[in-house]
Structure 1
């Protein structure tokens, strides 16, 4: 347990959490929406500092990040808790754990432990992922500072609902981020318990602050698969930077959306087509290994510059960040 960053004290021993865009007002002995920040005697505490519920070595492509040190490994960690309540969460057993059971599960880790595990595992980066890393920002920050000193990169896989204050605080330590852009505002309210506007603003701000950004949209039949929404999303991404990679990925029935079918491959191909039509340079189809949409193509000559199968990189045709075929620059970080 550690005193939280980003909160203010209110009368009657209440506190206002300033960590994310919910800005929870928390009464004495209460917790925020995330379930892991608790008001004890008028002081807000993080209950998950150093309490790691999941730790794995993953390919960076699993985040997914396709233009950030392709083919490298990332030591990935999470605590329990989340500031969303997505009805289709594939990691609901840990993201919703504090709300379901009230306890804080996990094993004790120090920042030194995390960085040591990353180095021992031959990992280029540490990913703060699986649940929403904003809710364990205090621990993530301390890990990031140490990782940066050791030459290890830091990656956030996020819903993008962090407050502007916290974003500006943590951004100098984040090298890359994948942000879920899940749907329109109605989708966010009904499916996630949030709003879309803060996410849109934060995508722009992360990019403005020099963090490498990639965006993922999990496409769910009848909820966010309309051509109108997909075109609107592609236009938004292009308005920030047409070289931002957009991952349109396949949904599988899970958690509280078991009544929805999996996403047809034809829908994903249509989404990718729309992305290119709207001027994006890099659009990927996800969760369907072997589909051509998982490769990176040169925007100019259309040759394959990174060939993938699932999370594996088979071949890279890039030299000095340029297509070996025509010399066009391929945007990214850590490319050959």
Structure 2
């Protein structure tokens, strides 16, 4: 499964990178949006100061001006491409900028019933990008957070997939989120990821209750108590998101995701053995209800179009949730099929790098 996960990321990101490069062609500020020249320079300088080359020169007592001159001199180097490593002549400064345009990804799959991690793809290429997007990286999760809000409403308010709630614009003081009006069932609201509904549910149950649900599902990262948290404003790891979604698939029992189960020495003596004990954090009926809600996302909601384009039959039972963050900086898909839960994130090193519009930048298009 690890091999298939790596191949799927390579295939998907090769195509996505071509689309992103086509959008960037001819732009003088590539690959950044909404930044002025000073902001771009500051971002580049920060990246430069994280490099081994900069740290070496600094340790040798070289001045900042001289270091910058060195970084602007063309040298023979290699750069990452999906067609293979490419030998080029370019300055270290331009090399930094080149690699900032490269789309990044992380993917993790686990067995909900045991906690066994079946696939862990922390990044696209360790030689050029030494960073793990599964457990080290935390990114804004967008609408993939909404199932925690819905689960809280089901538990606290006794709502069902057929319960209806207003989709009118949500107004709270100066905070305004437009809505399409009318009444929606919970299943339809989640399937189409309607923001006003998520905000109303969070307000009705309290954000503290939603946070407690997330905590019960294994999320330890900091979560804001303000209402926008219902739309996924918090930064959470893929590792914790997959563990949380697996709880829905495991009848409300949380299993900590584990990669290594048993360690033996050369003589076969057991040095360490992991015994995962499921923790019941949710009534099985509520967990089942959440799975039924999330099936709508794949059947006719925000993921249905992309699943159809990829030739995935609607007869295959998939529960899940898409997620898109501000300015299309992050694309998420959390998916559950029988006996497997998977989380995928696609984005860039910097949040100022992203697709311009939601056509290409929506979570389903980026991460599915």
TM-score, normalization: structure 1?
A: 0.26
Structure with the greater alpha carbon radius of gyration: 2
The structure where helix makes up a greater share of residues is 2
The structure where strand makes up a greater share of residues is 1
